[in-house]
Amino acid sequence: MGPQARVVCSLFFLLQVLAEPTENSDFSLAGDYLLGGLFTLHANVKGIIHLHYLQVPKCKEYETKALGYTFMQAMHFAVQEINNHSSLLPGVRLGYEIVDVCYVSNNVQPVLFFLAGEDYLLPIQEDYSHYVPRVVAVIGPDSSESTTTVAHFLSLILLPQITYSAFSNKLRNKQNFPSLLRTVPGADHQIEAMIQLMLQFRWNWVIVLVSNDDYGRDHSHLLSERLAGRDICIAFQEALPTPQPNQEVTRQEHERLEAIVDKLQQSSARVVILFSPDLSLRNFFREVLRRNFSGVVWIASESWATDLVLHGLTELHRAGTFLGITTQSRPIPGFGEFRAHRAQAGPPTSNGTTCNQECDTCLDTPKSLNTMLRYSSQRGAYNVYAAVYAVAHALHSLLGCSQTGCPKEVVYPWQLLWEIKKVNFTLLGQRICFDQYGDLPIPLEVVQWQWDLSQNPFESIATYYPVQRQLEFIRNVSWHTPNGMAPVSTCSKDCQPGQRKKPVGIHLCCFECVDCLPGTFLNKTADEFDCQPCPSNEWSHSGDTSCFKRRLVFLQWHEASTIVVVMLAALGFLSTLTILVIFWRHFQTPMVRSAGGPMCFLMLVPLLVAYLMVPTYVGLPTVSTCLCRQTFFTLCFTICISCITVRSFQIVCAFKLASRLPRAYGYWVRYHGPYVFVAFMTVFKVAIVVGSLLTTTTSPTTRTDPENPEVMIPSCNANYLKGLLVNTSLDLLLSVAGFSFAYVGKELPTNYNEAKFITFCMTFYFISSVSLCTFMSVYEGVLVTILDLLVTVLNLLGIGLGYFGPKCYMILFFPERNTQAYFSSMIQGYTMGRD
């Protein structure tokens, strides 16, 4: 282009004709309806927009970008196909104007060209609803940044714009970009695919490197947002320096890159996610290679996932495993041959009507690159192809085409936009139907970079389905690691089962492993950082993942202690029975009568019953055995004790009360005082027992053993000590009373010396019961039941043998003393001794 052309191209409103539109050039094609196409055939580093000179940037001065050329061919192909196959738009010819935007440098000029009319004038109007611009829709551009710039212009007249590779999530905002649609899913899907990839290989400690621009910042922000609440942490994040336009490495840039590679080398993370345009990465990877840094998994964002120039860096395969997220590869039938044919036809012709419609170096790419192009081309091309078809389908319904023809009406952009948003058709097996954000949820792919020339350089290993948000693996990754296994990238090694994570530092992924304490367990699905306590009837050992039921410990028949106690009880029962028989046989003798006569049987029978109750202490407590223990047993005991008490009272009465308070003694004898007293005590005890039953429960409960948490002790009362106190308090009082009376009467005649034995029984009972209660107030373990039973049986024995034993001895071995005469002499002797 000469200086004249530069001037022309610099005009913002008026765009002059350079040449008449030529038929079927690579950049423009005449037609009834024109599509605008924006592709990156050349690329330079961002921020080098030539605003210092009043001229349109000259794209061809920059480096060729082969992928952009393929995308452009996809548009040609789609338009040709639609024009050839008359069923979609019969009788209507689509044309195009394609301009090279050279990445982000040349956005505005092509937009003005598209917006202007046939006469190159862009009129200033209040209402553009009946304005017809040069093109009916714009396909592209590729990067999110230039898409944003272009979209701001096109929104003014609601000119439909369909981009084929801009992923940014900002473009979802239909308030800002009402006329923008895209044939790719949004960036959040790309990031979701990355996260699922990391989850798949259990990488939770990753490094994020971003370009120092909006692209890097937006994506890393989105990634952090998405990672919140997941078990993946970012070890650190660094911004890569922006390279010089000529890719020369300055000293500053070099230092910065060195520092970043140092940091990478020091980190334990083996996964690096890189959000950056391809151009910012070359120097970085050169530095990585210079430092022989390897063994890392590089995860590429869509911007460089299929970049052939980076792929072609010498020895790059040494740097580790490269995985990338990119659009799905969906082969377009005939496109391969079409492109090959175009390539043979020579470089794209440059007879365009505006600036940057030329690419004389597009086919100058090295041979190896061409081979790769053959494999990789289809990726992304489908997105362009689908965009053109979406416009064609919308035109079809807007014009109201029939099978044979279409009325060639004037198409206003806003009408077409409306129709494009509604399209719903299937293209090569893929449903094309934009969602509410104007996105097309077509699948993404995870590719692995390969350097074997016979293979596709970007081999698909997994497909990500945006609708289901699911990653499905197609092929195993071949890891570039010494052992061929997936690298491990975690901050801390996973804990053993039953160990909780104790956070170290701010990252959830960095932790120490601590065994759960006994009595707690770790439920990994619920919480990995806290052990949960076991239910009350269960227990766990240190580091358990679940609890076990605590062992029930109760008296069992086969245990030695049980056998001893039961033998004692049996002995006691037999001896009591013997005593009963002896007393029965000698009922009329003075010895028996002095011992209480009929009252002896009132004592012996409950004793027998009490012995019979001993087996209820053995075995698992049930409602009935608890009832026996808590009511009958203790009732028998109370009757017995109250009998003894009343006996000891009577001894004192007989000798002291009778002489001092004869009238009271008269009443006592006349109204059967002893029996009334025993009956009263029994009723009182019944009241206590019933009251205690009503306030607590009779059904057995279990207690824990503080000494041994693995066992549970089934018990009749939740609180053993309290139950014991309630049951024995009255008996204790009675025993104290009995003891006192007996003590007072201790110097009575030797035949009446039962007072000595009563003192002995009561003392024994009192001491043993108090000791038992004291012991239980400090001890709650398994021994409680057996001790309780043992003490009770000993008390029974003490009462039975202590009170009745000496009398039986006298009855059996000294029958001469068991006479009325002997008794009388003894009483006389006592009375005389006192006087």
- The yes or no reply on residue 450 touching ligand NAG (CB under 6 A) is no
- CA dist 73 and 384 (Å) reads 9
- CA dist 128 and 133 (Å) reads 10
Helix (H, G, I), strand (E, B) or coil at 78: helix
Least Cβ distance, residue 220 to ligand NAG (angstroms): 28
Helix (H, G, I), strand (E, B) or coil at 736: helix
Residue 87 CA: distances (Å) to CA of 98, 147, 402: 25, 32, 8
- CA dist 817 and 756 (Å) reads 18
- Cβ–Cβ under 8 Å, residues 135 and 34: yes
Residue from 4, 292, 402, 699 in contact with ligand NAG (CB under 6 A): 292
If we measure between CA atoms, which residue out of 18, 10, 12, 13 comes closest to residue 121? 13
Least Cβ distance, residue 291 to ligand NAG (angstroms): 5
- Cβ–Cβ under 8 Å, residues 434 and 423: yes
Structure tokens at 796: 């029974």
Which part of the chain contacts ligand NAG (CB under 6 A), choosing from 76-84, 274-282, 436-444, 605-613?
A: 76-84
- Cβ–Cβ under 8 Å, residues 330 and 309: no
Choice between 205 and 458, CB closer to ligand NAG:
458
- CA dist 472 and 469 (Å) reads 10
Least Cβ distance, residue 475 to ligand NAG (angstroms): 5
- The yes or no reply on residue 481 touching ligand NAG (CB under 6 A) is no
Choice between 475 and 502, CB closer to ligand NAG:
475
Radius of gyration of the chain (CA): 51
Residue from 80, 196, 212, 450 in contact with ligand NAG (CB under 6 A): 80
Residue from 247, 268, 546, 825 in contact with ligand NAG (CB under 6 A): 546
Number of residues that bind ligand NAG (CB under 6 A): 20
Residue from 523, 556, 729, 819 in contact with ligand NAG (CB under 6 A): 523
CA 104, distance to chain mean position in Å, is 44
- CA dist 114 and 395 (Å) reads 18
Q: String of b and e for 655-674 (b: at least 16 CB within 10 Å)?
A: beeeeeeeeebeebeeeebb
Structure tokens at 303: 């911007």
Least Cβ distance, residue 446 to ligand NAG (angstroms): 13
Q: Which residues share a beta bridge with 272?
A: 207, 298
The count of other CB atoms within 10 Å of the CB of residue 499 is 21
- The yes or no reply on residue 22 touching ligand NAG (CB under 6 A) is yes
Token look-up 């239910």 returns 535
Residue from 27, 62, 77, 583 in contact with ligand NAG (CB under 6 A): 77
Which part of the chain contacts ligand NAG (CB under 6 A), choosing from 93-101, 440-448, 468-476, 754-762?
A: 468-476
Helix (H, G, I), strand (E, B) or coil at 350: coil
Helix (H, G, I), strand (E, B) or coil at 800: helix
- Cβ–Cβ under 8 Å, residues 204 and 234: no
Which part of the chain contacts ligand NAG (CB under 6 A), choosing from 116-124, 184-192, 469-477, 510-518?
A: 469-477
Choice between 242 and 532, CB closer to ligand NAG:
532
CA 512, distance to chain mean position in Å, is 18
- The yes or no reply on residue 525 touching ligand NAG (CB under 6 A) is yes
- CA dist 652 and 543 (Å) reads 68
- Cβ–Cβ under 8 Å, residues 528 and 541: no
Q: Name the burial class of residue 410, with classes exposed (0-12), middle (13-18) and buried (19+) by CB atoms within 10 angstroms of its CB.
A: exposed
Which residues have CB under 8 Å from 113's CB, separation 6+? 15, 97, 99, 134, 353, 354
Choice between 455 and 819, CB closer to ligand NAG:
455
- CA dist 643 and 203 (Å) reads 83
Choice between 517 and 693, CB closer to ligand NAG:
517
Choice between 334 and 366, CB closer to ligand NAG:
334
Choice between 390 and 730, CB closer to ligand NAG:
390
Which part of the chain contacts ligand NAG (CB under 6 A), choosing from 471-479, 503-511, 649-657, 781-789?
A: 471-479
Choice between 342 and 629, CB closer to ligand NAG:
342
- Cβ–Cβ under 8 Å, residues 120 and 109: no
Choice between 224 and 265, CB closer to ligand NAG:
265
Residue from 230, 254, 374, 475 in contact with ligand NAG (CB under 6 A): 475
- The yes or no reply on residue 86 touching ligand NAG (CB under 6 A) is no
Which part of the chain contacts ligand NAG (CB under 6 A), choosing from 29-37, 79-87, 109-117, 583-591?
A: 79-87
- The yes or no reply on residue 351 touching ligand NAG (CB under 6 A) is yes
Which pairing describes strands 320-327 and 425-427: parallel, antiparallel, or unpaired?
A: unpaired
> Which residue type is seen at 133?
P
- CA dist 62 and 361 (Å) reads 10
Least Cβ distance, residue 79 to ligand NAG (angstroms): 8
Read off φ and ψ for residue 701, nearest 5 degrees. -120, 180
- The yes or no reply on residue 265 touching ligand NAG (CB under 6 A) is no
Residue from 8, 15, 25, 495 in contact with ligand NAG (CB under 6 A): 25
- The yes or no reply on residue 212 touching ligand NAG (CB under 6 A) is no
- The yes or no reply on residue 551 touching ligand NAG (CB under 6 A) is no
Choice between 523 and 820, CB closer to ligand NAG:
523
The count of other CB atoms within 10 Å of the CB of residue 229 is 8
Choice between 386 and 608, CB closer to ligand NAG:
386
> Which residue type is seen at 777?
S
Alpha carbon dihedral 603, 606, 608, 614, in 10-degree steps, equals -140
Choice between 10 and 478, CB closer to ligand NAG:
478
**Secondary structure (DSSP) of 528-556:** SSSPEEPPTTEE--TT-SS-EEPEE----
Q: Name the burial class of residue 87, with classes exposed (0-12), middle (13-18) and buried (19+) by CB atoms within 10 angstroms of its CB.
A: exposed
Choice between 404 and 426, CB closer to ligand NAG:
426
Alpha carbon dihedral 124, 130, 134, 138, in 10-degree steps, equals 100
Residue from 252, 344, 476, 695 in contact with ligand NAG (CB under 6 A): 476
- CA dist 74 and 809 (Å) reads 124
Choice between 351 and 692, CB closer to ligand NAG:
351
* Per-residue contact flags (x/-) with ligand NAG for residues 398 to 437, judged by CB under 6 A: --------------------------x--------x----
Residue from 152, 291, 756, 817 in contact with ligand NAG (CB under 6 A): 291
Choice between 474 and 563, CB closer to ligand NAG:
474
Which part of the chain contacts ligand NAG (CB under 6 A), choosing from 372-380, 493-501, 522-530, 553-561?
A: 522-530
CA 307, distance to chain mean position in Å, is 38
Residues 330-349 binding ligand NAG (CB under 6 A) are 338, 349
Choice between 258 and 707, CB closer to ligand NAG:
258
Residue from 228, 506, 526, 778 in contact with ligand NAG (CB under 6 A): 526
- The yes or no reply on residue 84 touching ligand NAG (CB under 6 A) is yes
* Per-residue contact flags (x/-) with ligand NAG for residues 167 to 206, judged by CB under 6 A: ----------------------------------------
Residue from 37, 64, 67, 81 in contact with ligand NAG (CB under 6 A): 81
Q: Which helix (H) or strand (E) holds 450?
A: none
Which part of the chain contacts ligand NAG (CB under 6 A), choosing from 89-97, 520-528, 702-710, 795-803?
A: 520-528
Binding interface with ligand NAG (CB under 6 A): 22, 25, 77, 80-81, 84, 291-292, 338, 349, 351, 424, 433, 473, 475-476, 523, 525-526, 546
